[in-house]
Amino acid sequence: MRIFNHKNEKKKEKGDKFSLFLLSLYHKHKKIMEDKQVMKETISEIGQNNSTTAMKYYSFDWDDNLMYMPTFIRLKDDKGNTVGMTTIDFAEYRTLVGKKPFNYKGHIIVGTSKDSYVEFGVTYDKQFLIDSMVSPIGPAWMDFVEAINNGSIFSIITARGHTPSTLKKAVYQLIKSNKHGIDSNKLVKNLRRYRDLADEDKLTKDQLIISYLNLCRFYPVSYGVSSEANPEEGKIKAMENFIKYVKVVSKHLQKKALMKNKISNYFTPFIGFSDDDVRNVDTMKNHFRDKEENILQTYLTSGGIKRKY
Ligand SMILES: [Mg+2]
């Protein structure tokens, strides 16, 4: 009997401990949910105040993601002819190029030549400036517009090998001519606000746009190198640089804001990266997935449709 009672006592004790445990779990959960709610409300409030600029960063591939450019890769067929291939098709065929012959639009493609990527390099910098003003827009364009109109910092990470300042110049032209939804007045209005936060002197509209573009980053990853066919490695290096940069910028902004007592602690940055080549997005995602403090969100835009990857 005593043993039985003793067991019951133990059971009761265990039961009490268990309820206490459940209760503490419940409170912990409630606290997390409340914190989350406060966070959510504050973030949406910041969103309404248009100050998300401080934490949202963007990164874009250029070809077939932002724009469909008329640039061709010059390949060789088995008869020695030059065959032009679009960047969309190249994203599909590039693992075969130079590895084994394959059929493309009635030609047996056997490989590349010295000038296969010439249109993507410094020789064609001027052509890039022309093409970017007249080419149709791609699936990530509206995100690009959002980034620019809000004055958010972005980077261009492209396999192209143009001079980096050429990419910057192209974006400057697009902003100045308010192309496809870009609103340079909105950008400037937001920059003035943003700049006030960062304690900058008052600048003219043009100076503001230029200094904004100086804050953004342009990585044509085959600039000065020769392996355009496999841009994954170069794109990862560029992203590593951009992430480091973003962390420095957001720490700096947080410090400024704290000094001015403006916004408290909502400066955890994140970066959205979009590319239409599944190999690039996959390599990028896998490389950063297990890194401490992964702030990268990846999007695939192949086939002209943007989706989370
Ligand atoms: Mg692309």
- The predicted-structure confidence for 191-227, as pLDDT tens digits, reads as follows 888 766 555 567 889 989 999 999 999 999 999 886 6
Distances (CA, A) of 212 to 23, 35, 95, 218: 52, 34, 37, 13
**Once rounded to an integer, what is the mean pLDDT over residues 98-113?**
94
CA of 65 to the centre of ligand 1 (A): 6
* pLDDT tens-place string over residues 114-126: 899 999 999 999 9
Question: Do the bridges between strand 154-158 and strand 217-220 make them parallel or antiparallel, or are there none, so unpaired?
Answer: parallel
Of the candidate ranges 56-60, 212-216, 254-258, the one whose mean pLDDT is the lowest = 254-258
Question: Which residues touch 272 (CB under 8 Å, ≥6 apart)?
Answer: 56, 57, 58, 59, 143, 297, 299
What is the pLDDT at residue 288?
A: 94
Q: Is the pLDDT of residue 2 over 50?
A: no
* pLDDT tens-place string over residues 15-33: 566 566 566 665 655 555 5
CA of 61 to the centre of ligand 1 (A): 6
CA of 116 to the centre of ligand 1 (A): 17
CA of 50 to the centre of ligand 1 (A): 30
Q: Is the pLDDT of residue 105 over 80?
A: yes
Phi-psi region of 298 (alpha: psi -120 to 50; beta: other; left: phi over 0): beta
CA distance 111 to 40: 53
Placement of tokens 């870009």 in the chain: 182
CA of 137 to the centre of ligand 1 (A): 12
The pair of structure tokens assigned to 266 is 């909502």
CA of 301 to the centre of ligand 1 (A): 9
Comparing 259 with 160, the larger pLDDT belongs to 160
Torsion of CA 56, 59, 64, 69, to 10 degrees: 110
CA distance 150 to 57: 11
If we measure between CA atoms, which residue out of 53, 21, 10, 108 comes closest to residue 269? 53
**Once rounded to an integer, what is the mean pLDDT over residues 165-187?**
98
Residue 46's pLDDT band, with cuts at 50, 70 and 90, is very low
What is the pLDDT at residue 25?
A: 60
CA distance 146 to 180: 11
Are the beta carbons of 94 and 63 closer than 8 angstroms?
no
CA of 60 to the centre of ligand 1 (A): 9
What is the pLDDT at residue 23?
A: 60
DSSP 276: S
Of the candidate ranges 3-17, 50-64, 74-88, 118-132, the one whose mean pLDDT is the lowest = 3-17
CA distance 179 to 175: 7
Residues of the chain with pLDDT > 70, as a percent, come to: 76
CA of 90 to the centre of ligand 1 (A): 9
pTM comes to 0.79
CA of 221 to the centre of ligand 1 (A): 12
Q: Is the pLDDT of residue 264 over 80?
A: no
CA of 249 to the centre of ligand 1 (A): 27
Question: Which residues touch 79 (CB under 8 Å, ≥6 apart)?
Answer: none
**Once rounded to an integer, what is the mean pLDDT over residues 130-143?**
98
Q: Is the pLDDT of residue 230 over 90?
A: no
**Once rounded to an integer, what is the mean pLDDT over residues 69-94?**
95
Residues in the chain: 309
**Once rounded to an integer, what is the mean pLDDT over residues 240-267?**
77
